[in-house]
A and B are shown apart, each in its own frame.
Chain A
Amino acid sequence: MNLEKVFFAFFIVLSLTLNFGFFIGELDDPNHHNIYELFAALVVSLIATIMKFGDRAHIGAVLLATSLVADLQLIAAAVIWTITVHATDVGMTPMIMASIVSLSGGALLANITSVIILVTETVMFRR
Chain B
Amino acid sequence: MHNIIYLLLRRMRVPLIAIILAYAISILGLVLIPGMDDQGNPWQMSFFHAFYFVSFMGSTIGFGEIPYPFTDPQRIWTTVAMYLTVISWLYAIGSLLSLIQDQAFRRVVAYTSFAHAVRQIREPFYLVCGLGGAGQLVIRELAEHGIRSVIIDKDENKIHALQLEELPMHVPGLTADVTDSNTLMTAGLNKQRCAGVIALTGDDQVNLTVAITSKLLAPNLPVICRAQSHDAQANIASFGTETIINPFDTFAERLAMMFRSPSMYLVYEWMTSLHETPLTEFAAPPRGTWILCGYGRFGKALQKSLSYKGIQTTIVEADAAGTNAPEGTIEGRGTEAITLHEAGIEQAAGLIAGTDDDANNLSIIMTGLHLNKNLFTVSRQNRSSNDAIFAAAGTNITMHPGRLIGKQVIDIVTMPLLKDFLHMATLQNDVWANILVSRIVGVLADKPPESWELTISTIQSPAVTQLLHRGFTVTVKHLLTDPRDTATPLPCVLLYMKHGNYQERLLPADETPLQVGDQLLICGHPSAETHMRWTARNSHALNYICTGCDRPSGNLWRWLSARRSDSHTA
A86 within 8 A of partner (CB):
yes
Interfacial chain A residues near B48, Cβ < 8 Å? 82, 85-86
- Say how far B490's CB is from chain A's closest CB, in angstroms: 63
- In the complex, the chain B residue whose C-beta lies closest to that of A46 is B20
CB neighbours (8 Å) of B6 from chain A are: 54, 56
Known interface pairs A54-B6, A54-B7, A86-B46. Does A47 touch B27 (Cβ–Cβ under 8 Å)? no
List of B residues within 8 angstroms of A85 by Cβ:
46, 48
A39-B28, A43-B20, A47-B21 given as contacts; is B47 within 8 A of A82 (CB)?
Answer: yes
- Which residue of chain A has the shortest Cβ distance to B49 in the bound complex? A86
B66 within 8 A of A: no
Q: Is A51 an interface residue (CB 8 A)?
A: yes
- The reply to whether the CB of B13 lies closer than 8 angstroms to some CB of chain A is yes
Known: A50-B20, A54-B7. A39 touches B13 (CB 8 A): no
Residues of chain B contacted by A86 (CB below 8 angstroms): 46, 48
- Enumerate B1-57 residues with CB–CB distance to A below 8 Å: 6-7, 9-13, 16-17, 20-21, 24, 27-28, 31, 46-48
Q: Is the CB of B16 within 8 A of A50?
A: yes
Are B47 and A47 closer than 8 Å at their CB atoms? Answer: no
> A10 contacts the other chain (Cβ, under 8 Å)?
no
The answer to whether A35 and B9 touch across the interface, beta carbons within 8 angstroms, is no
Which residues in A have their C-beta under 8 angstroms from that of B9?
A: 53-54
Across chains A and B, the number of contacting residue pairs, with CB separation under 8 Å, is 40
Chain A residues with CB under 8 Å of B7's CB are: 54
Task: Find the A residue at minimum CB distance from B27.
Answer: A39
Could you say which of A35, A53, A56 has the most chain B C-beta atoms within 10 Å of its C-beta? A53
The complex places the Cα of A50 from the Cα of B48 at a distance, in Å, of: 23
Q: Interface extent on A, as a size class?
A: 10 to 19
Chain A residue numbers with a CB within 8 Å of B31 are 36, 39
Residue of B13, B27, B28, B47 near A50 (CB, 8 A) is: B13
In the complex, what distance in Å separates the CA atom of A82 from the CA atom of B48?
6
Q: In this complex, what residue of B is CB-closest to A11?
A: B17
Minimal Cβ-Cβ distance residue in A for B8: A54
Name the distance in Å between B325's Cβ and chain A's nearest Cβ.
60
Bound CA–CA A7/B32 (angstroms): 27
Q: Are A39 and B47 in contact (CB under 8 A)?
A: yes
B13 adjacent to A51 (CB under 8 Å): yes
A-side contacts of B10, CB under 8 Å: 53-54
Q: In the complex, are the beta carbons of B13 and A35 less than 8 A apart?
A: no
Q: Which 7 A-B pairs have the closest CB atoms?
A: A54-B10, A53-B9, A54-B9, A43-B24, A82-B48, A50-B16, A53-B13
Binding site for B on A (CB under 8 A): 35-36, 39, 43, 46-47, 50-51, 53-54, 56, 78, 82, 85-86
Residue contacts A-B, CB under 8 angstroms, 20 given? A36-B28, A36-B31, A39-B24, A43-B21, A47-B17, A47-B21, A50-B16, A50-B17, A50-B20, A51-B17, A53-B10, A53-B12, A53-B16, A54-B9, A54-B13, A56-B6, A82-B48, A85-B46, A85-B48, A86-B46
Q: A36-B31, A53-B10, A56-B6 are in contact. List 5 more A-B contacts (CB 8 A).
A: A39-B24, A43-B20, A53-B13, A54-B11, A85-B46
